Chain A
Amino acid sequence: MIMANAANVSINNLNIRLGTNQVVAGLNLEVEPGEFLVLLGPSGCGKSTLLHTIAGLIDVESGNISIGQEDMTWADPKDRRIALVFQSYALYPTMNVERNLSFALRVHGVDKQEIERRVTRAADMLQLGPLLRRKPAQLSGGQRQRVAIGRALVREADVFLFDEPLSNLDAKLRTELRRELKQLHQNLGATMIYVTHDQVEAMTLASRIAVMRSGMIQQIGTPAEVYERPANLFVATFLGSPPMNLLTGTLERDGQAVRFTGGHLACDVSHYTFRMPPMPGTPCVLGVRPEHMRVDPAGPHDARVALVEPMGNHRIVWLDYHGVSLAIVDRGRQPIALDETLRFSFDGEHVSLFDEESGQRI
């Protein structure tokens, strides 16, 4: 097994400008040694730019980046002890797999036996053994990405960077390689920073997820934290499929209890863990995950069924609730007819409340 020297990555007050475009502004990020950090966000949010800056391929405007306690802000990419896997694989087309894997080692003048040892190991880990003599053009997409990962492995880098490595693969291969990557991280224990716009990849791989928008980190936390307790409306709606149901209303105090009242809906949220004491009368948004809503004949609310999407092991019931579209993940088997009026319920514990104006969690 290759043991990597997991290093931490620490980014302080980073600004990146591409032309006249401020891509990343005042970003701070601490990546612990051995962590699998996923940078998640919509396209154009600056996540790939951030990754390439960590790799040293893009110059910073201000701020600093240190890798393994060492300031690397202006270091050459080759001196950062990092490896980067690209979305497009970026395999050297004129070299066979073996020479692709060994390129970095040959450049660094590593002796022949050591090269042989490391290439064999990486090839074993990624089942590339029979392909070593092939050119990249003779490989399938999945094999090419394996070679790209292998090329990072032989470097025995301190930090592995992945730039949407699975986006070019078909759905089945993506799931397969995703599992392999997770296994690889567990075996290596190396620090990995992984960029993706795919929330499933983020949820399954990450030890922590950093959700980004417009060059700023919106929230950083374990997948469960980010999913269960989104810090703002953007994170709430970006994560989850179907996305979180949102209802607007106000908070009211009713003796000891706190109630949320929307247009047609009132709900006791006394058990909600508020970040700050709730102010009565604040306009706010109530968010409920579709899986926390239940089809419930005894439920307090009712709505018209607009659409049913069967998913095999469950179905998504779309309701038209006084003009607001709500989704319920339902595992029941009883038939549901279109336009039927359905009763449903949810509990006040598994909700999120956001300030309507700022969008921040309250």
Chain B
Amino acid sequence: MNTVATPLPARSRVARIYFSPARIGIYVFLLTAALFFLLPLYVMLVTSVKPMSEIRMGNLFAPPIELTFAPWRDAWESACTGLACQGIRVGFWNSVRILVPSTIVSIAVGALNGYALSFWRPRGAGVLFGILMVGAFVPAQVMIYPLVRLLASVHLFSTLPGIVVIHTIFGMPIMTLLFRNYYIAIPQELFKAARIDGGGFWRIFGELVLPMSLPIIVVAVIMQVTGIWNDFILGLVFAGTKNLPMTVQLNNIINTTTGERLYNVNMAATILTSVVPLAVYFVSGRWFVRGIASGAIKG
């Protein structure tokens, strides 16, 4: 009888909660907070589709009277970064060329490290892992100059492979931590069974461990794509002038002042630059939260 009777009061309690003053208060607060954080994006979007004449009037929040997409085209094709006036697209493709190999290589290295550290546990694995983790907390600025010398000595400084190596190195601690923590939760017996079945290092990695890693690979891709896309300092220092990423180009566009500041073009260029991480967040917010949780809390 009990089991039949209990759901009814529970359901009516749920219904009451939706309309309680406290609930309404919470929603009002959340809505206000959301609007507040969306305001800058709104201003950027609105400004980017106004002609300069409207912007000069100074109504920051006013919607455009004369809708124009010319600033977007200018930002993409003809905005000037210093002397070159080819728009931000050059930076976009540079960033893509940096992003794709850097993401793949850094995740591959992280997965392999995590696999070796959690399953094979070579002698000194704990110490190695400790050193890697310390590496994650050393400020990047400290390492820049030694790394410049190092890359220069192997002729990789100011090249595309050079910046890929740099992103792999800086991504290694967090990628290793992410994969190690994921693998450590997989029962050792699985790995032992595969060893008895004759699997070697690569065979077990490729046929058993990697297919099981799909969820964490998705998380790693999200983290690396946003991280590498948003990078400024590493790209500026290591990529070389031919490969400067979009973030650096954006800075150059905005800081190139010849005559009037083209706020609408600047806004359009900024939105274009943030499209990739924004898209990643929108498409995969849930995975991203899971990744943060598994990387930061479980360690």
Q: Report which A residues bind B (CB closer than 8 A).
A: 52, 55-57, 77-78, 82-84, 86-88, 90-94, 103-104, 107-108, 151, 155
Contact = CB atoms under 8 A, between A and B. Distances in A.
Interface string B205-233: 00110011000000000000000000000
A57 B197 contact: no
- Interface pairs A-B: 9 shortest CB-CB: A104-B197, A78-B198, A94-B211, A90-B193, A90-B189, A107-B198, A86-B189, A77-B196, A90-B190
B161 interface: no
Contacts of B207: 103
B196 A92 contact: no
B242 interface: no
The contact size tier of chain B is: 10 to 19
The dominant DSSP class at the B interface is: helix
Nearest to B195: A77
B197 A88 contact: no
B189 A103 contact: no
A78 B196 contact: yes
B280 to A, nearest CB: 26
Contact of B195 (A78, A87, A91, A155): A78
B38 to A, nearest CB: 41
B193 A94 contact: no
24 contacts: A52-B192, A55-B196, A57-B196, A77-B196, A78-B199, A82-B196, A84-B193, A86-B192, A86-B193, A90-B189, A90-B190, A90-B192, A90-B193, A92-B193, A92-B194, A94-B211, A103-B207, A104-B198, A107-B198, A107-B199, A108-B198, A151-B193, A151-B197, A155-B197
- Between B197, B199, B203, the greatest number of chain A beta carbons within 10 A of the residue's beta carbon is seen for B197
A150 to B, nearest CB: 13
A88 to B, nearest CB: 5
B212 A94 contact: yes
A306 B190 CA distance: 49
B271 to A, nearest CB: 41
B212 A90 contact: no
A88 B203 contact: no
Nearest to A55: B196
Given A56-B196, A77-B196, A92-B193, 20 more contacts: A55-B192, A57-B192, A57-B196, A77-B192, A78-B195, A83-B196, A84-B192, A84-B193, A86-B192, A87-B189, A90-B193, A92-B194, A92-B208, A93-B190, A93-B212, A94-B211, A94-B212, A103-B197, A107-B197, A151-B193
Nearest to A78: B198
B187 interface: yes
Interface in B172-194: 187, 189-190, 192-194
Interface of B: 187, 189-190, 192-199, 203, 207-208, 211-212
A158 B125 CA distance: 34
Contacts of A107: 197-199, 203
A153 to B, nearest CB: 13
Contacts of B194: 92, 103
Nearest to A152: B196
Contacts of B198: 78, 104, 107-108
Contacts of A57: 192, 195-196
Nearest to A155: B197
A87 B196 CA distance: 15
B187 A88 contact: yes
Nearest to A84: B196
B183 to A, nearest CB: 13
Contacts of A155: 197
Contacts of A56: 196
A55 B196 CA distance: 8
Contacts of B193: 84, 86, 90, 92, 151
Nearest to B203: A107
Contacts of B199: 78, 103, 107
Contact of B190 (A52, A77, A92): A92
From B190, B198, B211, name the one whose CB has the most chain A CB atoms within 10 angstroms: B198
A113 B231 CA distance: 54
A86 B193 CA distance: 8
A299 to B, nearest CB: 53
A78 B204 CA distance: 13
A78 to B, nearest CB: 4
- The residue in A87, A93, A94, A151 that gathers the most chain B C-beta atoms within 10 A of its C-beta is A94
Nearest to B213: A94
A86 B197 CA distance: 13
Nearest to A163: B189
A9 to B, nearest CB: 15
B157 to A, nearest CB: 42
Nearest to A103: B197
Nearest to A99: B207
A16 B278 CA distance: 56
A94 B195 contact: no
Contacts of A77: 192, 195-196
A108 B196 CA distance: 11
A56 B198 CA distance: 12
A86 to B, nearest CB: 5
Contacts of A82: 196
B185 to A, nearest CB: 13
A106 to B, nearest CB: 9
Nearest to B193: A90
B62 to A, nearest CB: 56
A110 B21 CA distance: 71
Nearest to B212: A94
A57 B121 CA distance: 13
A77 B189 CA distance: 13
Nearest to B214: A94
A107 B206 CA distance: 12
Contacts of A108: 198
B91 to A, nearest CB: 40
Contacts of A104: 196-198
